[in-house]
Amino acid sequence: MAAFLELKEISKNYTIGSEQIWALRDLSFEVASGELICIIGKSGCGKTTLLRIIAGLEKQTSGEIILNGQALKDTGRERGMVFQEPRLFPWLTLEENIAFGIKGRMSRELNYKTVADLMEMVGLTGFARAWPSQLSGGMAQRAAIARALAVDPAILLLDEPFSALDALTRSKLLTDFLHLWQRTHKTCIHVTHDVNEALTLGQKIIILPSNPGRIGDVISLPFPYPRSLENPELRAIKERVLSQFFADFTD
Ligand SMILES: Nc1ncnc2c1ncn2[C@@H]1O[C@H](COP(=O)(O)OP(=O)(O)OP(=O)(O)O)[C@@H](O)[C@H]1O
What is the value of pTM for the model shown? 0.92
**pLDDT-derived band at 60, boundaries 50, 70, 90:** very high
**pLDDT at position 1, please?**
61
| Ligand 1 atom 28, closest CA | 44
Residue 251 has pLDDT above 50, yes or no: no
Q: Is the ipTM of this complex over 0.85?
A: yes
Cα 52 from chain centre: 11
Question: Ligand 1 in contact with 43 (CB < 6 A)?
Answer: yes
Domain end: 117, 152, 187, which one? Answer: 152
Rg (Cα) of the chain, in Å, rounded? 18
**pLDDT at position 102, please?**
83
Mean pLDDT over residues 78-89, rounded?
94
Mean pLDDT over residues 80-94, rounded?
94
* Ligand 1 closest atom vs CA 191: 22
Task: Determine the residue of 10, 20, 21, 163 to mutate for testing ligand 1's pocket, defined as the one with the most ligand atoms within 8 A of the Cβ atom.
Answer: 21
**pLDDT at position 248, please?**
53
Question: Ligand 1 in contact with 211 (CB < 6 A)?
Answer: yes
Mean pLDDT over residues 86-106, rounded?
88
* Structure confidence by residue, pLDDT tens digits, 19-32: 999 999 999 999 99
Task: Determine the residue of 40, 47, 53, 160 to mutate for testing ligand 1's pocket, defined as the one with the most ligand atoms within 8 A of the Cβ atom.
Answer: 47
190 and 116 share a domain? no
Residue 223 has pLDDT above 70, yes or no: yes
Residue 118 has pLDDT above 80, yes or no: yes
168 and 142 share a domain? no
Cα 50 to averaged position of ligand 1 atoms, centre (Å): 9
Of the ranges 167-176, 217-226, 238-247, the best mean pLDDT one: 217-226
7 is a domain residue: no
Average pLDDT, the chain: 90
117 and 183 share a domain? no
16 is a domain residue: no
**pLDDT at position 239, please?**
94
Name which residue leads in pLDDT, 244 or 129.
129
Question: Ligand 1 in contact with 13 (CB < 6 A)?
Answer: no
Task: Identify the domain containing residue 114 by its residue range.
Answer: 88-152
246 and 181 share a domain? yes
Among the listed ranges 91-95, 109-113, 121-125, 226-230, which one has the minimum average pLDDT value? 109-113
- Provide the domain count of the chain: 2
Mean pLDDT over residues 86-111, rounded?
85
**pLDDT at position 250, please?**
44
